[in-house]
């Protein structure tokens, strides 16, 4: 079992790229953000605990995240590995991960801080299939109709606002970016310029995975 990690700041394009490379890798996308949002909507104890951190743009405590991942990795579709999106985000999470699954590649999508706010504030997703769009950079081809599933229902995240973005960027620089060196030392770290056309980034990721 060999997993892939998609690494980068909030709004870098991890989710967008995960959806596009899922067929080529054959690995399911495991987004801790999506799992937490599902827990918040369902009102589970994990969701209630996580919501205060998410609303404030802070990281959810490591124990909560590691417990979620340990459960998720037991599921049948994870037998050949998974594609992590937004996990690990701290050194303790990465240490826990090394005891759970082998990581073959870490794909770091780099986008300058100055571009992150507009990316996040224009983000919306299909309420039915989760496909990710952007008001100006990546709108649906037909207005009001999801390109992937045809649905007309979309949603925006409560934490995708200019105030919370600054806290999320701080959390990234202070707690998550130190992981880059950790993985670079292991020789599995690939840097991809994420400030380009979505298709070009996908091509570069697929060649890094070869
Ligand atoms: P992440 O999962 O890293 O938080 P997303 O994939 O949700 O990021 O992308 C954040 C926003 O930026 C979305 O609205 C998405 O449509 C848009 N986006 C993704 N990749 C690019 C790109 N290469 N150029 C411009 N906008 C992009
Ligand atoms: P983005 O890529 O835009 O930052 P995510 O959906 O990955 O968004 O995460 C949304 C929020 O969920 C984060 O701001 C954080 O509060 C929480 N979260 C997600 N993944 C983790 C993680 N691995 N560790 C701690 N908190 C997390
Ligand atoms: Zn859809």
Q: Give the list of residues 6+ apart from residue 40 with CB closer than 8 angstroms, or none.
A: 47, 48, 50, 51, 54
Overall average pLDDT of the 90-111 stretch: 96
CB-ligand 2 contact for 57 (6 Å cutoff): yes
pLDDT tens digits, 146-183: 999 999 999 999 999 989 999 999 999 999 999 999 99
Contact 84 CB / ligand 2 (< 6 Å)? no
Ligand 1 neighbourhood includes 134 CB (under 6 angstroms): yes
Residue of 14, 37, 72, 119 marked active site: 14
Report pLDDT for 102: 94
**Can you read off the two tokens belonging to residue 125?**
């997703």
DSSP 161: S
Q: Which of the listed residues 119, 140, 165, 171 should we mutate to test ligand 1's pocket, taking the one with most ligand atoms within 8 A of CB? A: 119
Rounded to the nearest angstrom, the distance between the alpha carbon of 33 and the centre of ligand 2 is 5
If 0-12 CB within 10 Å is exposed, 13-18 middle and 19+ buried, where does residue 123 land?
buried
pLDDT attached to residue 23: 86
What pLDDT is recorded for position 210? 87
The domain covering 2-111+172-204 belongs, at the CATH homologous superfamily level, to P-loop containing nucleotide triphosphate hydrolases (3.40.50.300)
What is the rounded (10 degree) CA torsion for 86, 92, 96, 97? 30
pLDDT, one tens digit per residue, over 44-84 is 999 999 999 999 999 999 999 999 999 999 999 999 999 99
pLDDT of residue 29: 96
The secondary structure of 50-71, three-state, reads HHHHHHHCCCCCHHHHHHHHHH
Q: For residue 12, how far is its CA from the centre of ligand 2 (angstroms)?
A: 13
Interval 115-153: pLDDT, tens:
999 999 999 999 999 999 999 999 999 999 999 999 999
How high is the pLDDT of residue 198?
97
Mean pLDDT computed over 13-28: 94
Nearest residue (CA) to ligand 1, atom 5: 13
**Is 184 part of the annotated catalytic residue set?**
no
**Domain locations in the chain?**
2-111+172-204
How much is the pLDDT for 76? 97
Residue 1 has pLDDT above 80, yes or no: no
Q: Strand pairing of 123-126 and 154-155?
A: antiparallel
The one catalytic residue among 20, 115, 157, 184: 157
């Amino acid at each position: 079992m060999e997993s892939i990690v998609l690494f980068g700041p909030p709004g870098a394009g991890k989710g967008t790229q995960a959806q596009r490379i899922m067929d080529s890798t054959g690995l399911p996308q495991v987004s801790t953000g999506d799992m937490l949002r599902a827990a918040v909507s369902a009102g589970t104890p994990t969701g209630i605990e996580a919501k205060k951190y998410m609303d404030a743009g802070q990281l959810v405590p490591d124990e909560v995240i590691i417990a979620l991942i340990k459960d998720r990795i037991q599921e049948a579709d994870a037998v050949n590995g998974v594609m992590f999106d937004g996990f690990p985000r701290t050194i303790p999470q990465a240490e826990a991960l090394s005891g759970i699954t082998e990581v073959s590649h870490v794909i770091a999508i780099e986008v300058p801080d100055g571009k992150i706010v507009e990316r996040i504030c224009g983000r919306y997703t299909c309420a039915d299939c989760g496909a990710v769009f952007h008001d100006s950079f990546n709108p649906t081809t037909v207005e009001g109709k999801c390109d992937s599933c045809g649905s007309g229902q979309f949603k925006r995240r409560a934490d995708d606002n200019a105030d919370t973005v600054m806290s999320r960027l701080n959390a990234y620089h202070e707690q998550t970016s130190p992981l880059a060196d950790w993985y670079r030392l292991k020789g599995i770290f690939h840097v991809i310029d994420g400030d380009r056309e979505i298709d070009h980034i996908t091509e570069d990721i697929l060649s890094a995975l070869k």
